[in-house]
Every structure is written in structure tokens, then in C-alpha cells.
Amino acid sequence: DDLPKIIEEIQTDVIPEVLAQFPGVSVQFEGQSREQEKMLGSMIIAFSVAFLCMLILMVLVFRSYAQAVVIFSLIPIGIIGAIWGHGIQGIQISLLSAIGVMALSGVIVNDSIVLVDQMNRYLRDGQKMEDAVFNAGLARLRPILLTTLTTSLGMAPLILETSRQAQFLIPMAASIAYGLMFGSFILLILLPCQILALNTIRLKVMSLFFQGTYTRESVEPAVKELKNNLVFSDDGKETEHV
């Protein structure tokens, strides 16, 4: 657990003095430090690929780049909660903390998808924009809170474990538990506000640059897709009738 602190002290205090006394000497970290750097590089690549795949899938499902970006914008909120949890527990941020953050990001994204998908369903059912957002929050409040509660309680025994064998896993558990508790609470407040703000921007853009009369509901991708499907269905019926 003290390895990052020791390396930092060596880099800031020891190495400059050695290089000053012996200009021809070069410094290279080996062993556990080098392995951690290699693993961190691999994790960054893996996380980037997973991030891109999730983004593409959400764009295909929601038919909206903006909604996908709004969902991903909530990941940093969970990371803040994970860092806050490390401070409360007095835990050093380590490689396993980053692994926990990767798992945390998936749960935060999943909770956000559930809420946005429910809102889109209500919009397709004909509800007003504000009602759809409000009712989606009510409908998904219990599942999101239960997911947060059960996951966090499941991590609690590991976080509270004092044996040496469990110490290296505690940062991962703390990242997931604290990040999920903080991120889910903020998600339930911030995500509906972001969706309504995005809807307002869409409405203003459509009104400024395109002719016609638009409502808050008509500019939403879910409603547009429904109208396109209805038009396609009507055209198919007319062709068959002819």
C-alpha cells in the first residue's frame, strides 16, 4: 500500500540528488513499479475500448448522441465519490482503485440507461416531457436505490476487513461502494435536470434554424422515431392497398 508514496519520495528527494552528483547515471524503475505501469497502460486501452463500445451501443439504442453524452457525463460524479471514500477510509489510491472505478462506471451507466429508457417509453406513450421525466424518476427510483444499497452492503464486509490478506482488495471495494452511493444519489437529481436542459436546447435550435412549430416532445429522438415508424407503416399499408 505504501509503494506509491515510497516511489514519489524517491522521485522527488533521492533521484535529483543522485543525478546531481553523478550526471552520467540513468534511472529506471523495475519490478513491481514497472509491472504496475504496464498494467495501467493496458487498463487505459481496455477502458477506452469499452467506453467506445458502450457509447456506440447507446447511440444505436437511443438514436441520440446527446443522450449518450449526458449519460457518460455522470461517470466523473461516481469517480468523485470513490476518491471521497478513499479519504474517509484513509486508503491510498492504487491500481485496484482504478479497477473498482471501471466497474463503478458500468453500474452508473446502467442506472442512467434504465432511467432514460423509461423516459423515452413514456414519451412514446404520449406523455408530456416534464411528466415523462418525473414519472421515469419515480418508476426507476426503487430499482436504482436497491441496486446501490445491495451492492454497497455487499462490499461493506470487505471494506471493514482488517486482515492483511484482504488489504489489497479494499481500495477496489471502496471505489465501488462509495462511488456508487454518491454517484447514484447525484444521478437521481442531476440526470433529469440534464435531460430537461438538453430538451430546451433542442427546442431552441429547431425553432431558430428550421421552419415549423415544435413542442418539447416533438424534438425528442424517441418521438421522432415513433413518427417515422408510423409514417413508414402508413406508406406500407397504402402500397399494399393499391
Domain with residue 62: its CATH number is 1.20.1640.10
| Residue, of 140 and 167, whose pLDDT is higher | 140
Question: Number of folded domains in the chain?
Answer: 1
- In-domain check, residue 5: no
What is the pLDDT averaged over residues 206-210? 85
**Which grid cell sits at 87?**
479519504
Query: What are the start-end ranges of the H helices in 12-166?
Result: 15-21, 32-62, 65-72, 75-89, 95-124, 129-159
Res. 240 pLDDT band, cuts 50 70 90: very low
**Which grid cell sits at 203?**
427546442
Residue of 59, 80, 52, 88 lying closest to 187 (CA atoms): 80
- In-domain check, residue 45: yes
pTM of the model: 0.75
What is the pLDDT averaged over residues 4-21? 76
- In-domain check, residue 49: yes
* Structural domain boundaries enclosing 191: 29-222
Cα 53 to Cα 25: distance, rounded to the nearest angstrom? 45
- Report whether pLDDT(136) > 90: yes
Residue type, 144: I
Q: Determine what percent of the chain is predicted with pLDDT higher than 70.
A: 87
- In-domain check, residue 232: no
- In-domain check, residue 238: no
